[in-house]
Structures are given as C-alpha cells and as structure tokens.
Structure 1
Amino acid sequence: MTEQKRLSPGDQAPAFTLPDSDGKPVSLSDYLGRPVVVYFYPAAGTPGCTKQACDFRDSAADLTASGYDVVGISPDKQAKLAAFVEAEGLNFPLLSDVDRKVLTEWGAFGEKQNYGRTVMGVIRSTFLIDPEGKVVKAMYNVRATGHVAKLLRELPA
C-alpha cells in the first residue's frame, strides 16, 4: 500500500466548509472554542454506517455533557444525507464531501483493505478536535460497532 497522509495529535485540523443535509454550509471554524468529534464514514444508510450514526445519536447527551459536538462526513450527496437524517432521527450534522477533498486532507480516503483486497475508499475514521482546532486524537480504521462506547471511555477529562 502506498503512503498516505495521516493526522496525528497536535496537528492543526484541516479547515473545511461543506454543505449539510439541508444544504447549509458548515465549517470546522464554527466549532472553535468548543471541542468536536469529526467522524468519516463510507455511505449513509448502509448497515455499519447506520449503526455508527445511531450510536452517536444515542450517545449525544453523554458527548454534550463532556463538552463535545459531533459532525459526520461522507461522500454522499445532500439528498441521501437528508433521507438518512430523517430515517434515523439523527441529532447532529452530516456533511457532504462528494469530491472527497476533505476526506483526503484528513487521511480518511485512500487505499484500504476490503475482504483481503486493496481498494480505494473511505477509511472509517474519528477525530477529537480541541477548542483551538488541534487534533487531540486521530483514530483510523475504526469499527462501526462499539466504537462510540469506546470513544466515550477514552474522552480526555
């Protein structure tokens, strides 16, 4: 596999402005002054991505109590995200990165193993970003199931 960009703790999180499921632009800078969880997932409505999104939805109170907002990003089009938000009652913004520019800048798109084959695709990844926009934790190749519970246990105090 070729070397691809990965973010590390202490790195400045790459800036972005992407449309949410309603077409409203959302920027990482909107969260300055507050920590945020930014997670990247392959496709809205698929079993793993639905499980992960619902885990974030169901953990919203715990994340908010810890001071964190949540933002999900995928290469899905806005209409697909809107249907996903509606179907699952999601309570955080999902952003559309159809050209995969932000996914690539964050190291969440590239070569990955899928059923023993090397393919290009979205690398399920989660990042904790501090109030100044720096990476606190960068997690690549996370599992869809059980990931949010693990994340909650590992949140910095």
Structure 2
Amino acid sequence: MSGPKGLVGQAAPAVTLASATGEQFELDPATAGRPTIIFFFPAAGTYGCTKEVCSFRDALSSNELYKAHNVQIVGISGDAVAKQKAFVDAQGLSYPMLCDTEGEARKKYQVGKGLLGLSEARVTFCVDKEGVVRNVFDSVLQFTAHEKAVTKWLATLPKPGPAAEPDAPVEPVEEPTPAA
C-alpha cells in the first residue's frame, strides 16, 4: 500500500525541522516514550488549518485521554518560520509547529496533495509510545475530524497506570517476634 496509510505498522520516520521559534526540532517518535500525534496541514493562517490546530490545542488542555496518555502533538506545514511563528502566537499554541519548507517530512511520511492535487494534503498520524504508526487519518476538508480520530484512537489504548515516584523510600517491614 502506498501513501500515508502504507506506514501503518511501520516505525515513524525521524525528521529534524525548524520550529516556529527558528530552532531545530528533532522529531523522533521512537524515543518519545509516549504517544505522538503528527499532523500535516496545508497552510498556516487559513480557515481550516486554524480550526484544526485549535482543536488539538483545546484537546491538550481539556481532553482527559490526552492528559492520561501524556500525548505529544506536533504540527507540520510547508510554511516559513516567520509565518508559522505568527500563526502559533495568534492561536496560543503550546505544542511544536514545524516548518517543512523543503518537503522533507512530507516525503518521509508519504504525504502528497489533496483535493485532486489542488491543495497540500491534511494527514494525521497516530504513533504509539514505541514509535510505530498505528493509525492514519487523511481528509483535507474534515479539519476538526482529525482531533476526533485521535481521541477515538487514544480510547483504544490501555489505560496508563499511576506513575511510580522515583527513589521513593520503602518502609521496612517488621518481622513479628515470637511469643516467649
């Protein structure tokens, strides 16, 4: 199977791209240790893309599944750093937004064109904590359905247990003394 869905069951490719701050961001889901959502969107500042990024922003702060699984979200478009930064600032985004100006990430993730070639595709990858692509949602026009697809996927994951406290002191167990 070619295209983005051909990556299901495969290791998610690692890429290093400029972030909206201009710094290099290394995206390697295999080393994240938590579920990673990577979404490719056509262009910063457009109506549909604004709706999509805000749906992920809102889910991070209010969706219990995102919180419970400590989800990492990363957005990627072909926009230049200045445009991406203005978009991030205008929408109050707290997650990384990367600039794939050369199309390197789109190529590695097999993300092509959408709308019969009239637009960049809008594709979301759900990657498990081991770095394996488990689900792909591909729809240019259903911008808020991407977040809903992620929520549906997260609901299939085992509920994470409570985090162990590092170096927590262990109470010694006293042995009962025999009665004399």
Alpha-carbon distance, 1:120 to partner: 5.7
Q: Which runs of 5+ in 1 are unaligned?
A: none
Q: Report the AA paired with residue 147 of structure 1.
A: H
Q: Return the letter of the residue paired with 2:139.
A: N
Name the TM-score, length of structure 1 as normaliser.
0.86
Identity, % of aligned pairs?
35
Relative distance call for 1:141 and 1:107 in structure 2 (3 A) is: farther
Q: In the alignment, what sits opposite 2:117?
A: 119
Runs of 4+ in 1 over 6 A off after TM superposition: none
Q: For residues 68 and 44 of structure 2, what CA distance do their matches in structure 1 show?
A: 26
1:118-143 Cα distance to aligned partner (Å, 9 max, x none):
32642100011122211011222252
Q: Is the 8 A contact 1:108 1:140 kept in 2?
A: no
What is the CA-CA distance between 1:150 and the residue it aligns to? 3.6
- Between Structure 1 and Structure 2, whose CA radius of gyration is higher? 2
2:37 aligned with 1:49: no
Q: Please tell me whether the aligned partners of residues 38 and 126 of structure 1 are also in contact (alpha carbons under 8 angstroms).
A: yes
In the alignment, structure 1 residue 17 sits paired with structure 2 residue 16:
yes
Unaligned runs of 5+ in 2: 158-180
Matched, 1:89 2:92: yes
Number of residue pairs aligned between Structure 1 and Structure 2: 150
What does residue 149 of structure 1 align with? Answer: 148
**Larger strand percent:** 1
2:72 counterpart of 1:69: yes
Query: Is the contact made by 2:126 and 2:150 (CA closer than 8 Å) also made in structure 1?
Result: no
Name the CA distance, whole Å, in 1 between partners of 2:146 and 2:28. 25
Q: What TM-score do you get using the length of structure 2 for normalisation?
A: 0.75
* Root-mean-square deviation (Å): 1.9
* CA-CA distance at 1:27 after TM superposition: 1.5
